[in-house]
Structure 1
Amino acid sequence: MAILSGRLKPNLGKYDEPPEWDDIIRFFRGSELQPYFSKLAEDRLRAVLKPQHVDLLAKKLKGTVAQLLKVADERGALDEIVDELELKDIMNRDVRKLSGGELQRLAVGIVALREADVYLFDEPSSYLDVYQRVKVAKLIRSLAREDKYVIVVEHDLAVLDYISDLVCVIYGEPGVFGVVSMPRGVGVGINEYLDGYLPAENMRIRKEAIRFDLRPLERIWKPEEKMLSWPRMVKVLGDFKLTVEPGSAHKGEVIGIVGPNGIGKTTFIRMLAGELEPDEGYVPLREKLKVSYKPQYILPEYDGTVRNMLVEEGGPEATSAWFRSEVLRPLRIEKLMDRYVKELSGGELQSVYIATCLAKDAKIYLIDEPMAYLDVEQRLTVARVVRHIAEERGAVVFIVEHDIIAHDFIADTLMVFTGRPGIEGHALSPMGLKKGMNLFLKELGITFRRDKHSGRPRVNKEGSYLDRLQKSIGEYYYVER
């Protein structure tokens, strides 16, 4: 992204003697990159970039949301962008007081308001709920016109599928080397990535293919498998009120939790974890069952190595041969063991926090947004590891996550949170995956179909034949291949 935006010149492998633009352009003669770099070198191509780490914007930018957007508005589209990204309520707020999701939408808005030839978005869905991700995806697609380039880096496969016409697969060894494939159609490209084999390059990039095998959508639980149940609960935090319907969970069950930001999902998890007490009702499990909790916000605060953190906070299981094989190795943590926690990247830190949570020999695992900062393969690996832990230990796992494909890959049941963000939330009882997804997606107004090759869920383009058909029959989460 830095090279395509002109912030970094390709050195063609000549680290000690970086080439000039003439040499770079000559190197790419005959390819589509030759005219691109020619225009870039002559300042005839204007590129604007939404950076990966939007949390740094609060330190770099000054002023209110309205002031920043007005300065950026070169297309005369301010009102349209504010409406599309639902920024009206925060227009007078200082940028330093914005949440991660608000900063993300502001950053996308600033880039979309620029008049440019190339629009680049680095991980535009981070911090956003599903509804906001679809909004941002629609806005980014609208920027693609005949004389414009739109380039996106994205780890949420559903969002990537929805935004893109073409994709490039980047493979290699993290921190060592990377190779960018030739472009291919989005459906073919994602499937080849999941297969782990790129036919055009004759390149094997993974030993095993990733498949979305359909599990029974309505799993029947035996009475003796019930591990916990909770009554109706109410929690009031300032002006916000959360109401939780009665529910139950079973041994080996993974319960996905979905809903917009600010609707009470984390509040529910914190009540189960014992960090908050309900104002009405009670949490019955804490005296009887051991709980392990991975919070939403992770900070590199531990003063020591990864190994020390795992042992001190995870317990003796963290060093067992079984745990190394089933958790540490798949999550690529073995090579981080002697690194200091404060030196880790966001993705590395997330993996360590997940492993620390799973290292505890608990019966209830509460995992809040585990996919943040992780790439596609890491997300699917985390899903496999968590499901294996649930089945192996006969534990219950609650997962709050905005990545729909991750839920499809891992969840047995769903808890759907509805209401008005920041005002009131209503948590429904756990329900079957199909029923829960249908209810949730109907509120979002989007439909999914199954990819015939991989079985993964694919977002239907709005207004397409399948989108209209599935809405007409009430099948927003279509499961037939």
Structure 2
Amino acid sequence: MPSKAKRKGQTSRTLADEGLLRGVKDPPAWFAEQRPLHQFGDAFRLYGLPSPRAAQVLGILGANGCGKSTVLSIFSGSLQPNLGASAPPKDWVRAAPVRTGIRSLLASQPRVASKPQYVEEVAAKYAGRHVGSVLEQEDTRAAGAVVVEQLELAHLWERTVDTLSGGELQRFSIALVCVQTADLYIVDEPSSFLDVRQRHKNIEWLYPGDRYVLVVEHDLAVLDYLADMVVLVVGAPNQYGMVSLPYRTGVGINMFLRGAVPRVTSAGELPFRETVLDFGARAPPQVGPCWHYPAAVITRPGAFRLQVAAGAFNAGEIVVLLGENGTGKTTFMKLLCGEVDPDGGKGVFERRRVAYKAQDPADLRARHAGTVQEALASAAAGELPPAEELELVATMLERPVSSLSGGELQRLAIVLALSVDAEVVLMDEPSAYLDAEQRIATCQAIRRCISRTGRMALVVEHDFMMANYLADRVVVFSGEPGRSCALSAPLPVEEGMNSFLAHVGVTFRCDHDSGRPRVNKPQSAKDRAQTRAGTYYVLNAVGED
């Protein structure tokens, strides 16, 4: 369970107490003698720069608004740091307060291949052009055939780039980077729009040989799988950002989950979050009455068929739905909320009062003409949600819903679903559009709400660490995506995770410091041993860290 109290043995001082939230005119004491690397007017300052190494993947982890995009812009050459002045110095690389290795890399003017955060930019750039012709033109490494096969792009060869779906466009964007010859590869959020299997199978092709690679990733299991080292970018969104020293990936992720970084000028840790995300053993949920449902078949236009095994959901528990894209998870959600009927007709499934957070929250702009606060009040019969859930949207209560970004709409949609008077809460991909910090807050809010209210909750989630934290039981979807699929009855977590991961071909062990699931490196001793034993998900044993 998430820790609500201060950490045992620690002071209550946080980044806010150190001055990080006071605004740029009053910098924190521990930054006072440092020169910012870059400053945007009087609005934001970035301190420090990551130190990538050749032949390693360096992960960048932190909240949105703390400088990750600024870091990538500096390395790509699209932004010259001003070192806190009104304009960049003539030779900013020589004058910048950075390590010698970074200075040498930047001074060499490296060739850069970059995948943007928003893949819609790629669709716009290559609109009207065929996938195959673009990849052939950009393939300066003679790696196209292998990359196309591994990223499952062969069937898209004749499609135009602007007609690709989100997941297809993401895989194409990754391929576009992989086939280019570069000294530095920059990859911003490679796992977005991909399911668990695609995240772990496809992204391994970003490994660079002897090149430099920077990756921003919010899915911590993917980051753990992909990166050799990690830096944290912490601070106050849109005010300050500080880049930490590099740490081994496991150490850095655990530091992020603890919500604390080593102090800059003294011993000990400086918390940047009030709570810890704890993956340790927790008590079973206090379950209430069940919602029993029968076996059923759903046939959808386009010849998709979904076989539903009979089962039951318990009040007070969270059931996570695991499966590849196209296996029927959203269809099953729509069945439960009455938007889709089984082949036997409406009377087959007992109806319950359901709150449904759809996969894409964009329709909230059309449904709510007023402010965020007004939308929440209308959903909860005039009352605002409890403070624990309200915290997810606290900074935007007075904003018009129509002005919200994708991530802000997602947080609003989550709080709306938790606020409605319903017996069952259905959430389709709550982590989409959220940064790693917001995912932690969302996990904690969902679990607290379900525990407090005793509702049933079903969650579709591709972020494996988030799914692991939320799940009391698991439903596994299998079959041929888009054609014929089936879903299991709710299973115990270990049984369900093992069943799912056996299909994905990825093994997880338990991290001995945090208790979180850690993905094993492909073909490592632990990966081979667990695969031979058929134990793809092991939470009572530790592996090589």
Please report the TM-score for the alignment, with normalisation by the length of structure 2: 0.81
Q: CA deviation at 1:68?
A: 1.7
Match in the other structure for 1:175: 238
Match in the other structure for 1:413: 473
Matches within 5 A, 1:73-472: 73-141=139-207, 143=208, 145-146=209-210, 148-199=211-262, 201=264, 202-215=269-282, 225-280=289-344, 287=351, 289-299=352-362, 300-301=365-366, 302-312=368-378, 314-316=379-381, 319-320=383-384, 323-329=385-391, 331=392, 333-472=393-532
How many Å separate the matches in 2 of 1:251 and 1:324? Answer: 20
Q: CA deviation at 1:297?
A: 1.2
Q: Which amino acid aligns with 1:176?
A: Q
Q: CA deviation at 1:49?
A: 1.0
How many Å separate the matches in 2 of 1:373 and 1:327? Answer: 18
1:18 to 88, 102, 123: 88
Distance 1:229 1:80, change over 3 A: same
Secondary structure of the structure 2 residue equivalent to 1:227: strand
Cα deviation code 1:351-372 (max 9, x no counterpart): 0111111110111111000001
Identity among equivalent pairs (%): 39
Distance 1:225 1:28, change over 3 A: same
Distance 1:30 1:165, change over 3 A: closer
How many Å separate the matches in 1 of 2:240 and 2:434? Answer: 18
Q: CA deviation at 1:235?
A: 2.5
Q: Which amino acid aligns with 2:381?
A: P
Secondary structure of the structure 2 residue equivalent to 1:406: helix
Q: CA deviation at 1:4?
A: 1.0
Equivalent pair of 1:274/1:286 in contact (CA under 8 Å)? no
Instruction: Point out where structure 1 has 5 or more consecutive residues left out of the alignment.
Output: none
Deviates more, 1:236-245 or 1:201-210: 201-210
Secondary structure of the structure 2 residue equivalent to 1:66: helix
Deviates more, 1:250-259 or 1:375-384: 375-384
1:72 to 108, 132, 138: 138
Distance 1:303 1:70, change over 3 A: farther
RMSD, aligned α-carbons: 1.9
Instruction: Point out where structure 2 has 5 or more consecutive residues left out of the alignment.
Output: 1-71
Equivalent pair of 1:242/1:425 in contact (CA under 8 Å)? yes
Secondary structure of the structure 2 residue equivalent to 1:242: strand
Q: CA deviation at 1:240?
A: 1.4
Q: Which amino acid aligns with 2:87?
A: E
**Greater relative CO (CA pairs within 8 A, separation 6+):** 2
Give the length in aligned residue pairs.
462
Distance 1:33 1:420, change over 3 A: same
How many Å separate the matches in 1 of 2:226 and 2:448? Answer: 32
How many Å separate the matches in 2 of 1:208 and 1:29? Answer: 32
Distance 1:37 1:221, change over 3 A: closer
Distance 1:198 1:405, change over 3 A: same
How many Å separate the matches in 1 of 2:435 and 2:98? Answer: 33
Match in the other structure for 1:35: 104
Distance 1:28 1:388, change over 3 A: closer
Q: CA deviation at 1:210?
A: 2.1
Please report the TM-score for the alignment, with normalisation by the length of structure 1: 0.92
Q: CA deviation at 1:30?
A: 5.1
